């Protein structure tokens, strides 16, 4: 058993979502499971996309590996009813409840759509996010604990969904105690900060309080 903490701090139902990269990874790893692409051919881009939040690697997967067409299927498969995949992955929409549900179904437990190798790789990458990006759901844990985290941040430009000239700062992750047991999922989605730093500070404080 584990606890769930989720918070939407936004001006509308859904917050702009760069943690959509987890969904892109699932779409690609489902292709591996179906035998449509070799895992070795996409491991480098998956690693850069998840551990470094590398946009160039994400775009390569989006353009060349059919992720653009298949990622919306992930939303349907896992019943993410408040998630909408945009023509450009970086301005897709989601909220804390949907991303918590995705973590429950695809990270804490192995879905039927992923084979063991693909699922284990995804979990490993989420546990190796670059230290500078391991804030929010990865912040403030007791000694010996670990996390699986993906964060997203983006300052809106004119014409983007959501408030203009505001920072969307999102975090989703699970905390594991020294025995490897999942103790909680924390998901925070927001799009009304003046700066990225304000959102990061808020999610850091909340996950530290949970811990």
Q: Report the pLDDT averaged over residues 60-74.
A: 84
94 class by beta-carbon count within 10 Å (0-12 exposed, 13-18 middle, 19+ buried): buried
pLDDT at 33 > cutoff 60: yes
Q: Report the pLDDT averaged over residues 42-51.
A: 97
Instruction: Encode burial over 28-55: b for 16+ CB neighbours within 10 A, e otherwise.
Output: bbbbbbeeebebeebeebbbbbbbebbe
pLDDT at 65 > cutoff 60: yes
Of 203, 189, 71, the residue nearest 139 (C-alpha): 203
Give the pLDDT confidence score for residue 204 in this predicted structure: 98
Q: Report the pLDDT averaged over residues 78-96.
A: 86
SS3 of residue 99 by DSSP = helix
Residue ranges with strand state E in 27-116: 93-94
Give the pLDDT confidence score for residue 84 in this predicted structure: 86
pLDDT at 54 > cutoff 70: yes
CA distance 163 to 199: 15
CA distance 170 to 23: 14
For the chain, what is the mean pLDDT? 92
Of 191, 97, 106, the residue nearest 148 (C-alpha): 106
For the stretch 111-147, pLDDT in tens is 999 999 999 999 999 999 999 999 999 999 999 999 9
Give the pLDDT confidence score for residue 1 in this predicted structure: 81
pLDDT category of residue 14 using cuts at 50, 70 and 90:
low
Of 55, 195, 179, 199, the residue nearest 139 (C-alpha): 199
DSSP 146: E
Give the pLDDT confidence score for residue 69 in this predicted structure: 84
CA distance 115 to 167: 37
Of 194, 206, 144, 132, the residue nearest 169 (C-alpha): 194
Give the pLDDT confidence score for residue 9 in this predicted structure: 86
């Amino acid at each position: 058993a584990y606890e769930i903490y989720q918070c939407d701090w936004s001006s509308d139902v859904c917050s702009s979502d760069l943690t959509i990269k987890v969904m892109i990874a699932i779409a690609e790893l489902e292709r591996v499971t179906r035998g449509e692409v070799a895992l070795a051919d996409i491991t480098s881009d998956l690693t850069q996309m998840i551990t470094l939040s590398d946009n160039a690697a994400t775009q390569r997967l989006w353009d060349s590996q059919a992720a653009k067409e298949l990622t919306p299927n992930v939303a349907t498969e896992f019943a993410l009813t408040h998630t909408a995949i945009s023509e450009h992955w970086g301005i897709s929409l989601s909220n804390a409840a949907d991303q918590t549900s995705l973590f429950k179904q695809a990270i804490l437990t192995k879905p039927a759509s992923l084979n063991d190798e693909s699922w284990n790789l995804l979990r490993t990458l989420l546990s190796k996010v670059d230290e500078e990006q391991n804030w929010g759901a990865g912040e403030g844990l007791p000694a010996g604990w670990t996390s699986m985290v993906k964060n997203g941040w983006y300052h809106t430009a004119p014409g983007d969904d959501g408030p203009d000239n505001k920072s969307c700062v999102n975090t989703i992750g699970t905390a594991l105690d020294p025995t490897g047991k999942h103790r909680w999922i924390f998901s925070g989605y927001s799009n009304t900060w003046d700066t990225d730093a304000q959102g990061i500070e808020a999610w850091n404080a909340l996950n530290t309080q949970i811990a």
